[in-house]
Chain A
């Protein structure tokens, strides 16, 4: 016990002296939250459209006004040339081209199915889908309110958004970014830290001392656990004060999830450090693992939209469960009764990975 305490105090002394370590610990949460939450923003703010009107009728002009009035769309060009508009799509002058075919007004008035051609730059598929949906919504609202008589308007539904009423994308992103934050601390810093002792040879000196293997490991992991916990709550404070993201769940339950998840990450960090001979190797392996985790976690794209194999892989990585439960806890105020499965799965990971890490660590030396 005394030895572990000695090692922990030595570790903190070193961490607070290491500039790059300090930068990772203190600048990372601030930068990640402030920059990433703004950069990784999928909301559509402004869509440039080119208007191509072959009908030039009163109704087509009214539809055009609808688009002009919307605060998402901006008409950057009005032209009849099909080719000129294609060029605009290509060089990025327009995100979409809406062309009204001849006979639009006649068909509308006669209640014959009418067509509007929409060409969208779909390099960013997700954005293209959104643009298409927005255009469709404007066209259909134009149809119902401008053409149908009041008694013809049936089937109108209203919807109310729960948990994130303003559809603020940041509300969705920030819990996930907090999770990435503790993942970086747990995984990267742990593996780097142990690899560093190998690199400078101090691990040999430790091995020829009364310090036992488990004491050495705990002396390494506990400081990282403490830092990880501190990081997370600093992040929560920033997200509350800067972004006004609510924290509805029970903080103690969140802490429990956090500690279990951190043990999983510390275990993986330890596992990596048994394989890596120096900090560079540890860094590369850690980054590879983190990339896989982050892309498959459902942070940037919903797990449900992944291909089958992606969904299966996503279920196999621990970060998925922690992101899901953190979102539910923070935004929905979910309790243990709905999240217990995630907790069990995370605990299972913590157990298995640490067992593997300890076995691997034992193998490397006496």
Chain B
């Protein structure tokens, strides 16, 4: 079966910067696919190409069999796009924005109300308020409603949760899962690692290339070597001590601890590390093996990319 959304060998260059380098991926009809990467990794460029705002230098893309190059008019009338920054009319009210977006797609609020009901009930009390006067989380909900109101075949959301509080983000993702279950595939980008876990599949993008693309579980499973954590008040000192030891793949501070990536967690090596820490640190510390988180996997992939160059 043909995938619902596909891209093959897409490249785009801005001057001397290669924004996208031979990017290929596929998205099925029942999937939320997340693109994770640092700022400037090429996520927004990829979204703009897939939503027909930009023309790629090379490569092809298809949405439900329509080419992003030749059928761009058709695509524009049947996808929903939420650009990276809030871009609704701030001086129109919530209702007016929604009606306007429904109307330009030749639809109406009533016709597709079922589509947005779950999200819009929260917004309804603010129906007369100007979009510009909404809180960050409410703005995102309104933008999502506007992207959904014409019953699109697919949704493209470029960093929809940037600048939104943690509670609103969780609610937003609950909404996305409902939307997916109603049969609309979603392509979403995010800089937040915790959101990656809620995607069906994740593509890790770095300097215009997709480093890896798989389910979050598989990505964590593929973590190479073993992960040790040092819990101490003197994190930077601990990092400096471990850094000097031989055979250590990578060391980085991670919240309240220091993470060490080793080829294996042999007891002898652990003892060696513990001994050097005992010598160097004045405070108490704890050393134990950890299960890698998604972010550890991301950092490992980024580290590999840096070593390859």
Please give the residue numbers on chain A whose beta carbons come within 8 Å of chain B beta carbons, in ascending order.
Answer: 2-3, 6-7, 10, 13-14, 17-18, 200-202, 204-205, 207-212, 365-366
- Residue B127 lies at the interface, judged by CB distance under 8 Å to chain A: no
Chain A contact residues: over half helix, strand or loop, or mixed? helix
Asked if A14 and B89 make an inter-chain contact with CB atoms under 8 angstroms apart, the answer reads yes
Q: Please tell me if the beta carbons of A201 and B72 are within 8 angstroms of each other in the complex.
A: no
Q: Chain B residues with Cβ under 8 A from A14's Cβ? A: 89, 91-92
B87 touches A205 (CB 8 A): yes
Q: Which residues of A contact B105 (CB under 8 A)?
A: 209-210
For this complex, 8 residue pairs linking A to B, each with C-beta atoms less than 8 Å apart, are A2-B106, A7-B104, A14-B89, A202-B87, A205-B83, A208-B52, A210-B105, A211-B104
Q: How far is the CA of A210 from the CA of B54 in the complex (A)?
A: 16
A344 CA to B49 CA, complexed, in Å: 44
Q: Is the CB of B53 within 8 A of A208?
A: yes
Whether the pair B103, A202 counts as a contact (CB closer than 8 A) is no
Decide: B76 and A208 in contact? CB cutoff 8 A. yes
Q: Which size bracket describes the interface of B in this complex? A: 20 to 34
With A208-B52, A208-B53, A366-B54 already in contact, the answer to whether A3 and B104 are too (CB < 8 A) is yes
> How many residue pairs bridge A and B at CB < 8 Å?
61
Chain B contacts for A202, CB-based, 8 A = 87-89
5 closest A-B pairs by beta carbon, nearest first, are A201-B87, A210-B77, A208-B81, A205-B87, A204-B83
Chain B facing A: main interface SS: loop
Q: Is the CB of A366 within 8 A of B52?
A: yes
Q: How far is the CB of A207 from chain B (nearest CB, A)?
A: 6
B86 in the interface (beta carbon within 8 A):
yes
Interface contact B55-A366, CB-CB below 8 Å:
yes
> Once the chains bind, are A201 and B92 in contact (CB under 8 Å)?
no
Check B100 for interface membership: any CB of A closer than 8 A: yes
Q: Complex formed: what's the CA distance from A366 to B54 in Å?
A: 7
Q: Are B104 and A200 neighbours in the complex by a CB distance under 8 Å?
A: no
Cα(A209)–Cα(B87), bound, Å? 13
Q: Are A6 and B88 in contact (CB under 8 A)?
A: no
Write the nearest CB–CB distance from B45 to chain A, whole angstroms: 13
* Contact residue among B73, B76, B91 (Cβ-Cβ distance under 8 Å from A17): B91
B53 near A366 with CB under 8 A, answer yes
Which residues of B40-59 have CB atoms within 8 Å of chain A's CB atoms? 51-55
A204 contacts B106, C-beta separation under 8 Å? no
| Cα-based distance from A201 to B158 in the complex (angstroms) | 13
Contacts of B92 in A (CB 8 A): 10, 13-14
Complex contact B106–A210 (CB within 8 A): yes
CA distance A14 to B89 in the complex (A): 9
Note all chain B residues with C-beta closer than 8 A to A18.
Answer: 91
> CB distance A10 to B89 under 8 Å?
yes
Contact across chains for A201 and B86 when beta carbons are under 8 A apart:
yes
Let me know if B96 is at the binding interface, CB within 8 A.
yes
B72 contacts A366, C-beta separation under 8 Å: yes
Q: Are B85 and A201 in contact (CB under 8 A)?
A: yes
Q: Does B90 contact A (CB under 8 A)?
A: yes
Q: How far is the CB of A198 from chain B (nearest CB, A)?
A: 10
What residues of A have a CB within 8 angstroms of the CB of B87 in the complex? 200-202, 204-205
B79 sits at the interface (CB 8 A): yes
- Interchain nearest-CB distance for A68 vs B (Å): 63
Chain A residues near B96 (CB-CB < 8 A): 10, 13
Give the docked Cα–Cα distance between A208 and B92 (Å).
19
